[in-house]
Amino acid sequence: MPLCPTPHPTEQRRPGNHHPAAVSVTTLRAT
């Protein structure tokens, strides 16, 4: 689940992807 509900520029550019911080946390949790 995305920690930041506010849309980031990265999300707008790449739909479905979150900023590196969220991706790192999600990856750590998934792993």
Question: If phi over 0 gives left and psi between -120 and 50 gives alpha, with beta otherwise, what is residue 28?
Answer: alpha
Spatial separation of the C-alpha atoms in residues 27 and 29, rounded to whole Å = 5
**pLDDT for position 7:** 57
Strand, coil or helix: 13 = helix
- What confidence tens digit (pLDDT) does each residue in 3-28 have? 555 555 554 555 555 555 556 665 55
CA–CA distance from 9 to each of 1, 6, 18, 20, 24 (Å)?
A: 18, 10, 9, 12, 17
pTM score of the predicted model: 0.20
Q: State residue 28's pLDDT score.
A: 55
Phi and psi at residue 29, to the nearest 5°: -70, -40
pLDDT value at position 5? Answer: 58
